[in-house]
Chains A and B, each alone.
Chain A
Amino acid sequence: MHYPFWELPIGYGVLMASAAVLHVFISHFAIGGGFFLVVMERAARKAADTARIEFLEKLSRFFVLATLVMGSLTGVGIWFVIGLLNPAATAVLIHNFVWGWAIEWTFFLVEILAAILYYYGWKRMSPANHMIMGWIYFVFAWLSLFVINGIITFMLTPGAWLVTGNIWDGFFNPTFWPSLVLRSAIAVMLAGVYALLIASRCQPEAFKVRMVRQTAGWGLLGLAAALPSLYWYWRAIPSTITAAALQGLPTPMRALQYSFWSAGALAVLLILFGLIVPRRLHLSLAVVIMVAGLGWFGSFEWFRESIRKPFVIEGYMYGNAVEVRDADTYKKDGYLSQIAYRSGDDGADLFRHACGSCHTLQGYKALKPAFDGTDRAFIAAMVQSVHLLRGNMPPFLGTASEAYAIATYLEAKLDPRPLSVIYGLQGAKLGEKVFQIRCGKCHPMGSPHDKTSELAGLSPQDYQELLNNAAGLGPGMPAFTGDETERSALIAYFQTLKTGGGK
């Protein structure tokens, strides 16, 4: 509320994901790749294997170009992006962990220089000194991960910090160690997967087979270590968070599911084309393997981000930058009195600060299609009971008139035609749509809040009565404010419901 709001048509989630995904892919590769290079170099030097040394030199050029430039700048990019999208949360992190970041910066200085000297030193340094440089690079790259891991995991599991405010409680939080092991394993996996790109183009064939087997082995080793550590990570997340996700948060569970599929696909591909028929591994297949690896890692990051909702810092700050400690102030004075930068349109300002960090009108997580054909009273009721939706939305802590102002702002942007016209539906089909829009946001079928079994088998009069008294049925229930056509259609739809739930 203390900062201006950047109105971004693509949505905050899309921008954040595109910056973060790219960076985590490269930064983890930077760690695992460093380890891979120096271990492989040691083996190659011991065996006086010049072909392998040439391969590693080639790989190090790709490595330096990818990690030094992209890695460091996408890292700065994430920092820019979080500062622009959620400056309040960024400020909390910086104020608590500035020395952590500063320490990481000193590691980064060493890491960058070591990478440059390692790359330029292949033919200029003695093998022993060159490997010293490689080890320095790897150790400091991993130390960077050590520090950043503490800050990232803090956001999901701040642990005792919420009570003590002590930096060490926040840093060595419940998921710190499992996440560190998991990310280290991912770094090893990515090193193998990226190196396959270069190995797939090696000549002659016998050499290629050897390189492909070795690099695929790295990928499999990393993957094998990552899977149990993912389980450890899951177990370290407080059960209140995981239970809520299992019960009603589809996004993190879907992400977890994708991660299992990608891990399976990656394992099969690595075993088949990496170990069994390495001759067949062409560049295109190596790209597919890399995509599977990145898909697995990306799904994990998606899971981590989405399970944290509705918070950006668990238990401390909501995704829309509202601090939990300020909740009473907002409830008493409303949001508007706290919004420092105003555009002159109260409804728009309230929408931006209360909803805009996750939702757009027509882009990512669009609200227009979700509310087209509805009315101000319905939207205001939804805003006020937003925390009851799926458990991943922050509560609306403003006043009733502010909720109404948001509804007024939104209504002006919506399609004003009735749902029957917008969707060209009639009867029970229209009723199903009305249900989806007016009821399904809180009561989706198959969810713990599914009410279809209780609705099935009642008489039309019962349904009429139900809709007449909808607002009194439970906390947060909005009154039914649809027109007569929608009401009849909804009742027609209710009549199609079967006892036991569903249609």
Chain B
Amino acid sequence: MTLPDSRFLPAPLWVITALHIVTLSLHFAAMNFVLGGTLIILTGRFKRRWENPTVRRFLALFPSAMAATVTLGVAPLLFLQLVYPRQMYSAAIVSGWFFLLVIPAVMGAYYLFYAASFSGKEAASSPARFLWPALCGLLYVSLVYSSVFSMAEHPDLIHRLYAQKQTGWQWNPDAGNYLLRWLHMILGAVAVGAYFVGLLGKDDPETFPVAKRLFGYGMAGAAASGFAYFASLKEILVGLMRTPAIWALFVGVLLSLGSLHFFFVRRFFYSGLALLVSLVLMVTARQELRVLRLQGQFDPASWRIAPQWFPFLLFLVCFAGAAILIVYMIRLFFRSHPDSL
């Protein structure tokens, strides 16, 4: 009996890549709300911080936003594992313990956000004591992901690290390859978080200036670290220049600046749209960079394609159905009581 060969992609590569990019962008949007929001709530210049209505709204929203972050993070990882299983798993195994500790870190942060949302306004029960450790947890998770996914693009490094130690305690030592990118991501999260702070606190004379300032600083910091990372790519940069990714980056930067402008003039819809599209473009460029880094070692186009069209169609129908149902549920909730949340 000839057994089935499971080494195939169940849809054309571009479909899976597109799904990865879209879902990862959604994950980033939710994650930036939580990470950037937490950073701003903790460090922004608010007078009576825990009595500020925008801060209170953020505290109430954090657990749900965390749920969205986790849930939206599942799909991009799934599509990434589908195309890059050997690179992805190998890097994760070499850093096994660090990778696995992501789960308790996220779980801890999640519960801490709940604790913060349940805490009172008094100084004695300040939510800060929950938010700071939650923030540390999130920073840990983001750093581990940056380290592992960067390692996944360097199979030689994985081989070298594995030969040294097989215990799963290997941290990616090639910090030059991911620290700047990580910093870019954190500062970008501050900018996006500030956008949400400004959106929720647009009518609050104290909150909006804080959001404006941090949006500006976050954007400037993200741009500086992004360009520094870009410059550090060296020979890869030449390759990147020859791909459409460079245009994605260029338009992404323009849209980010546009988003800043719209935010300052309180055109929140356009600002948010520009921010989201720029996020999608950045993720697209990041995907192209992965392909370039792996050039000569792994070509994702080498997969045998054996499409499962009907299940794929079913997924699209379910996805659309879920989107409609989500809108329906939110309307149902707010129609019942428009001021809730």
Contacts and interface: CB of A to CB of B under 8 A. Distances in A.
B333 A68 contact: no
A95 interface: yes
A136 B331 CA distance: 14
A341 B167 CA distance: 14
A418 interface: no
B114 interface: yes
Interface string A103-143: 10111111011101100110011100100110010000000
Contacts of B85: 87, 90-91, 94
Interface string A262-297: 000000000000000000000000000000000000
Interface in B1-16: 1-10
A308 B80 CA distance: 29
Interface string B107-134: 1001100100000000000000000000
A423 interface: no
Contacts of B67: 68, 72, 112, 116
Contacts of A116: 63-64, 67
B332 A90 contact: no
Interface in A318-365: 323-325, 340-344, 352
Contacts, number: 203
Given A99-B311, A107-B322, A316-B3, A3 B93 contact: yes
* A4, A84, A101, most chain B CB atoms within 10 A: A4
Is the contact region of chain A dominated by helix, strand, or loop, or is it mixed? helix
What range describes how many residues of A lie at the interface? Answer: 35 or more
Contacts of B337: 124-125
Interface stretch (A160-168, A235-243, A488-496): A160-168
A84 B88 CA distance: 10
B332 A133 contact: yes
Interface stretch (A73-81, A189-197, A438-446): A73-81
A94 B78 contact: yes
Nearest to B89: A87
Nearest to A114: B329
Given A94-B78, A125-B333, A103 B315 contact: yes
A83 interface: yes
Contact of B332 (A77, A81, A129): A129
B247 interface: no
Nearest to B103: A77
A181 interface: no
A341 B159 contact: yes
B82 A95 contact: yes
A77 to B, nearest CB: 4
Interface residues of B, number: 70
B322 A76 contact: no
A43 interface: no
A343 B163 contact: yes
B106 interface: yes
Contacts of A100: 311
B96 interface: yes
B130 to A, nearest CB: 14
B115 to A, nearest CB: 10
B82 A98 contact: yes
A5 interface: yes
Given A112-B67, A324-B3, A325-B5, A83 B74 contact: no
Contacts of B318: 103, 106-107
B102 to A, nearest CB: 7
A105 B318 CA distance: 9
B329 A133 contact: yes
Nearest to A102: B315
Contacts of B74: 76, 79, 105, 108
Given A69-B111, A91-B81, A98-B10, A125 B336 contact: yes
A442 B114 CA distance: 54
B97 to A, nearest CB: 9
A357 to B, nearest CB: 12
B18 to A, nearest CB: 13
Nearest to A92: B6
A70 interface: yes
B99 interface: yes
B168 A76 contact: no
B163 A344 contact: yes
B162 A125 contact: no
Contact of B71 (A109, A126, A324): A109
A172 to B, nearest CB: 13
Interface in A363-391: none
A46 interface: no
Interface string B221-246: 00000000000000000000000000
B163 A352 contact: no
B75 interface: yes
Interface of A: 2-8, 65, 68-70, 72-74, 76-77, 79-81, 83-84, 87, 90-92, 94-96, 98-103, 105-110, 112-114, 116-117, 120-121, 124-126, 129, 132-133, 136, 161-165, 167, 315-316, 323-325, 340-344, 352
Interface of B: 1-10, 19, 63-64, 67-68, 70-75, 78-79, 81-82, 85-86, 88-90, 92-94, 96, 99-100, 102-103, 106-107, 110-111, 114, 158-159, 162-163, 166-168, 308, 311-312, 314-315, 318-319, 321-322, 325-326, 329-330, 332-333, 335-337, 340-341
9 contacts: A65-B111, A68-B67, A95-B10, A99-B308, A109-B72, A124-B333, A125-B336, A133-B333, A324-B3
Closest 7 CB pairs of A and B: A165-B4, A99-B311, A87-B89, A125-B336, A106-B322, A124-B337, A106-B318
Given A80-B99, A94-B82, A133-B332, 11 more contacts: A70-B107, A84-B96, A87-B90, A91-B85, A99-B308, A109-B326, A117-B329, A133-B333, A136-B325, A162-B1, A323-B3
